[in-house]
Amino acid sequence: MAEAPRMPIESGCPDPIQYMHPTMRRNYGQWAYHDRPRPGVLHHTSKNNEEIWTVRCGTARQMDVYSIRKLADIADEFADGFVRFTMRSNVEYMVADVTKVEALIAALTEAGFPVGGTGPSVTMISHTQGWLHCDIPGTDASGIVKSLMDELHEEFTREEMPNRVHMTTSCCQINCGGQGDIALNIQHTKPPKINHDLVANVCERPTVVARCPVAAIRPAMVNGKPTLEVDEKKCICCGACFPPCPPMQINDPEHSKIALWIGGKNSNARSKPSFHKLVASNLPNNPPRWPEVGAVVKNILSVYKKDARDWERMGEWVDRIGWPAFFEKTGLPFTKFHINDWKGARHELNSSAHIRF
């Protein structure tokens, strides 16, 4: 009789303790301090006088089996066999012997995995799925990440920024990439084009109507067929209707643009969390290298690196110098689209990490 398959445990995230390095398990919650001997290397010392070194390298978010096996082989040969993946697609190797660190760094570098991403550096870019997997993308987020990091990898391997720079990319305006010091996402500038012949066969119309955040979609009849129509005066071109109804195509090679936002922050360090703000829009969605986007990002990073004080995150730097100075120093144009004229906007949004009402 065949053995019954193991049923999955669906009670949340798996227990991380079982995957930890033995030194980390023994000293869990007992760390006295940590330091960074060099970019990409973390050194933790416990209250029990045990030490562990963590070497961080950058990888792509979507990897082939060969790359994953290569990373695993390096862990077995040059580390202690323990690795972990961070939310920014870095791989961290833990070793309890300092003599293994340099050989591990050399092996990763030779294999094409840059070591860095710690301290005041440009960290790996967190991003959404893009064309590879997502059902609603207007651009290829992972392609933008590849193009940007090809040009910024030296800032990943060095610690020369005023503070850490978290970058994100999102393939639509839902912004799964989250808040970032620099964030990129797509902006649709035209309402969706509707294929009325397919709507009734593909879409659950009440769901699509309910999906619209501004009530711009309503049922309609076209050529005797049930379909949907869009009130273009209300439509904000968000693209939320496209996932439940692909015949409402909103992606456009000309009218879907890249927008760049800065100043987002999730931590409470020095200042409360903040939302990022729009600084550049209407940038061409120009695969495969997105040169126009890369030029703007590098310009902002260059000015920030030169002008910000130590420990200032990008949003804190802008708060100090003011938005007029930011646009003057970067040379970016300020337009009417940078003004928040939404009727529901408030001067101070409830953006603190503390619960309040």
Structural domain boundaries, residue 57:
17-111
Q: Are residues 171 and 289 in the same domain?
A: yes
Q: Where are the beta strands (DSSP E) in 69-131?
A: 83-85, 90-95, 126-127
Query: Does the global pTM surpass 0.75?
Result: yes
Q: In this structure, are 271 and 227 located in the same domain?
A: no
pLDDT for residue 15? 83
227, two tokens: 């379909």
Are 243 and 261 within one domain?
A: no
Neighbours of 340 (CB within 10 A): 10
At residue 10, the pLDDT reads 73
pLDDT of residue 1: 64
**Which among 248, 263, 282 is the end of a domain?**
248
Amino acid in the structure at residue 83: V
Q: Based on the domain organization, do 215 and 101 belong to the same domain?
A: no
Domain count, the chain: 3
DSSP at 165: B
CB 344 within 8 A of CB 291: no
Residue 209 lies in a domain: yes
CATH number of the domain at 219, please.
3.30.70.20
**Residue ranges in the chain modelled with pLDDT below 70:** 1, 340-357
How does pLDDT run across 187-198, given as a tens digit for each residue? 899 999 999 999
CATH number where 54 lies: 3.30.70.3340
Per-residue model confidence (pLDDT) at position 357: 42
Copy the structure tokens of residue 119: 């301290």
By the 8 A CB rule, do 137 and 171 touch?
yes
pLDDT in tens, 263-320: 999 889 888 888 899 999 999 999 999 999 999 999 999 999 999 999 999 999 999 9
Say if 353 falls within a structural domain. Answer: no
